């Protein structure tokens, strides 16, 4: 039995609101690279594992296959421009984009709701995509207003008390020991799984969504 055609499949899953991330790493030449991705999910709590699915035709695929580490940057509702930039063809997607680096030199975008630092563990083919599995070795998250989910907090609420909290077992800027940080992982997982009353999915244009990976939550 054959599946539905790709256009219908994309349209169907386009109705399912998911969080939007930008996966970042460095290519073999040391250049920062990234792409918008919604095919992201938690896999395991012990050890803390996540996955990201990447089209093998995407220009991000070779660098991610070669990389040992990557970062999942969870975008806030006011970062649609960043999602568009990293979803489109662009000679330098980092041009004009602020970022810092992890202790391993992987870019972390400014202003994201959470950054999830990963050490690549495995990869497996899935149709025309490859699924990359990462061990969460460190992270940071930002509380915006009363919600700790992917949320849009209106400026009028006056609840813009954003505060970066180190989680996933990191301290004094040092990476966490391997396999630790379950409490922080639970908190980061809530950014994907929770649907609080003020949760608003980041809305992408049809052109931007067409280049984003989409999958139902598990």
The domain ranges of the chain are 6-210
40-44 and 99-101 strand pairing: unpaired
Average confidence (pLDDT) over 175-181: 42
In 64-96, which positions are buried (b, 16+ CB within 10 angstroms) versus exposed (e)?
A: beebebbbbbbbbbebbebbbbbbeeeeebbee
Distance from C-alpha of 73 to C-alpha of 95, rounded to nearest angstrom: 17
User: Is the per-residue pLDDT at 78 higher than 90?
Assistant: no
Main-chain phi, psi angles of 155, to 5 degrees: -55, -30
Q: Where are the beta strands (DSSP E) in 56-144?
A: 69-74, 99-101, 107-109, 114-126, 129-143
- The whole-number pLDDT of residue 21 equals 93
Q: Would you state the pLDDT for residue 189?
A: 54
24 pLDDT above the threshold of 50 = yes
**pLDDT band for position 47 (cuts 50, 70, 90):** very high
Give me the chain's average pLDDT, please.
73
- 148 pLDDT exceeds 80? no
Position 160 scores a pLDDT of 27
pLDDT, residue 184, reads: 57
Q: Which residues contact 31 (CB under 8 A, 6 or more apart)?
A: none
94-123 tens-digit pLDDT: 999 999 999 999 999 999 999 999 999 999
The pLDDT of residue 88 is above 70: yes
137-to-100, 105, 116, 189 alpha-carbon distances in Å: 17, 14, 8, 14
Check if CATH label 1.20.1070.10 holds for domain 6-210. Answer: no
| Tokens at 6, concatenated | 């790709």
Of 21, 142, 125, 126, the residue nearest 71 (C-alpha): 21
Band of pLDDT at residue 90, cut at 50, 70 and 90: confident
Mean pLDDT, to the nearest integer, of 124-141?
94
Q: What is the pLDDT of residue 29?
A: 95
pLDDT value for 104: 96
């Amino acid at each position: 039995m054959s599946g539905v055609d790709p256009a219908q499949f994309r349209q169907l899953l386009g109705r399912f609101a998911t969080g939007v991330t930008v996966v970042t790493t460095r290519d073999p030449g040391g250049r920062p690279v990234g792409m918008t991705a919604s095919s992201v999910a938690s896999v395991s709590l012990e050890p803390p594992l996540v996955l990201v699915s990447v089209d093998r035709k995407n220009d991000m695929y070779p660098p991610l296959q070669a990389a040992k580490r990557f970062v999942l940057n969870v975008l806030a509702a006011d970062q649609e421009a960043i999602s568009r930039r990293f979803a489109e063809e662009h000679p330098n997607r980092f041009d004009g984009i602020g970022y810092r680096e992890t202790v391993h030199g992987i870019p972390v975008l400014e202003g994201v709701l959470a950054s999830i630092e990963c050490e690549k563990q495995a990869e497996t083919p899935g149709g025309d995509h490859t699924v990359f599995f990462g061990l969460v070795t460190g992270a940071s998250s930002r509380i915006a207003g009363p919600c700790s989910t992917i949320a849009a907090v209106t400026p009028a609420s006056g609840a813009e008390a954003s505060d970066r909290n180190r989680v996933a077992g990191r301290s004094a800027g040092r990476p966490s020991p391997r396999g630790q940080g379950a409490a922080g992982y639970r908190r980061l997982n809530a950014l994907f799984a929770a649907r609080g009353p003020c949760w608003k999915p980041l809305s992408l244009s049809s052109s931007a969504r067409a280049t984003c990976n989409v999958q139902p939550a598990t």
